[in-house]
Structure 1
Amino acid sequence: MSETAKETLSHPVDLPTEIAGVRFPDSELARNTAAFVRRVSSASLFNHVIRTYLFGSLLLDRRGVTYDRELAFVASALHDLGLVDAYRSPDERFEVDGADAARRFLREQRMPAERVEVVWDAIALHTTVGVATRKSPEIALVCEGSGLDFAGNGFQQIPSDCLEAILAACPREHFKREVMDSILSLCRTKPMSVLMHPFAEVGRRHLPGFPVPTAEDLVLAAPFEE
């Protein structure tokens, strides 16, 4: 077992029973996952991934969708590891970096392989709305929950009392500023990882000489006559 796994197992986190009517899974894996993510993430990022679970759960619960609560929580909690410096590769998309880091962690936790792969897909696809929302409920939950917290998608579906409870328990801690810094860092340090990615628009707006081509550039440069 790796040192990361040992440290996580010896310092579990006591998760709340519920926030805003959303229950947290009562399992060792959930507590170990929360402890790991809290240790490696900033306060802002940790609160974001917990809000992702809460918002995603509320959205699916309102539609009467049945899902695996432990699987949804674990995928939500781990979904932004690719924004943590320790888990960044030189050239992969941040979603793939995060999915790979989550897979390593969950294998150390002895999570069954088929469940690990659901988490991998949830993380790798969480910014690809048109695909993730057509997959399993747990994958859709991470996409919808993170999209709501990132851009307000579905904001009007969250009752005001639930929103107040979530923000009180998991304050945003300058999340907008931190996530913009993370996006710009990705654009500076591995620009081709955001090729055909929404983050590329941030790079083009803020970084002079940003080298990543647009879709138009790519199709017009293709080695064909027409």
Structure 2
Amino acid sequence: MRFADIVIPDTSAARGALEVATAYCSPALLNHSVRAYLWAAAYGAMNDISFDAELLYVSSMLHDIGLVREFDSHTVPFEEAGGHVAWVFGAGAGWPVERRVRASEVIVRHMWDKVDVAQDPEGHLLELSTGLDVSGRGADDFPAGLRAEVLERYPRLGLGEEFIACFRDQAERKPDSLAGVFVRAGVAERIRANPLDH
């Protein structure tokens, strides 16, 4: 598997989601969102997991939008806020309600410990890819050449420390959220030990 083998959807919804992420995310968070899709799509292809590329791409671009100031919610965890943004985005893109709900589900589930691939292949792939990109979980499942090429094209730009700060902020304001659970479980140490940063 090489970078050139990864299928990137070229639809109006995919282009729009990238435009939204580019407008609102920091450079590090934007590159993380792109890498989340690339790792997910590559893993799906390498493991014969059928997935909806457009749905996965849009969900990847918007999965952390709830961390940015303009979309941060004081009432719900950031992944739920991001799911709501995806639902609204899908409405603007002309998606049927069922597809909007699916994008929201994929984004909410990326914070789960595990997502059943048979029930939700896109959620499974995004949960896996974000775990890889944030803390390095499963890095050895990807060829070294692919890892190097993705990181060269979309560098990390200090993502680790930015993410730690975001999660600590979420945990302080929303202690019952999964971000709060992760902070109390020592996520900062796992992020700082990410092999993608070393």
Measure how far apart 1:111 and its partner are.
Answer: 1.5
Partner AA of 1:197 in structure 2: V
Measure how far apart 1:74 and its partner are.
Answer: 0.8
Structure 1 pair 86–163 and aligned structure 2 pair: CA distance change class (3 A): same
Q: Which has the higher contact order (CA 8 A, sep 6+)?
A: 2
Aligned to 2:129: 145
Deviations along 1:78-135, whole A, 9 cap, x unmatched?
Answer: 1111111111111311111111111112212211211111111111111113235453
Percent identity at matched positions? 27
Aligned to 1:61: 45
Question: Contact between 2:77 and 2:177, CA under 8 Å: does it hold in 1?
Answer: yes
After TM superposition, list the pairs within 5 Å mapping 1:118-129 onto structure 2. Answer: 118-129=102-113
Structure 1 pair 132–147 and aligned structure 2 pair: CA distance change class (3 A): farther
- TM-score, normalised via structure 1 length: 0.76
Structure 1 pair 46–157 and aligned structure 2 pair: CA distance change class (3 A): same
Structure 2 counterpart of 1:117, from 101, 111, 115: 101
Tell me, yes or no, if structure 1 residue 130 matches structure 2 residue 121.
Answer: no
Question: Contact between 1:19 and 1:169, CA under 8 Å: does it hold in 2?
Answer: no
Measure how far apart 1:199 and its partner are.
Answer: 2.9
After TM superposition, list the pairs within 5 Å mapping 1:177-192 onto structure 2. Answer: 177-192=161-176
Aligned to 1:81: 65
Structure 1 pair 65–133 and aligned structure 2 pair: CA distance change class (3 A): closer
Specify every segment of 5 or more residues in structure 2 that has no aligned partner in the other structure, as ranges: 190-198
Question: Contact between 1:65 and 1:137, CA under 8 Å: does it hold in 2?
Answer: yes
Aligned to 1:198: 182
Q: Which protein shows a greater Rg?
A: 1
Specify every segment of 5 or more residues in structure 1 that has no aligned partner in the other structure, as ranges: 1-17, 206-226
Partner AA of 1:67 in structure 2: F
Which SS does the other structure have where 1:92 is aligned?
A: coil
Tell me, yes or no, if structure 1 residue 36 matches structure 2 residue 20.
Answer: yes
Question: Contact between 1:52 and 1:142, CA under 8 Å: does it hold in 2?
Answer: yes
**Distance between the aligned counterparts of 2:88 and 2:11, measured in 1?**
19
Measure how far apart 1:202 and its partner are.
Answer: 5.0
Structure 1 pair 162–131 and aligned structure 2 pair: CA distance change class (3 A): closer
Measure how far apart 1:33 and its partner are.
Answer: 0.8
Partner AA of 2:10 in structure 1: D
Aligned residues: 187
Structure 1 pair 132–88 and aligned structure 2 pair: CA distance change class (3 A): farther
**Distance between the aligned counterparts of 1:150 and 1:185, measured in 2?**
17
Measure how far apart 1:196 and its partner are.
Answer: 7.0
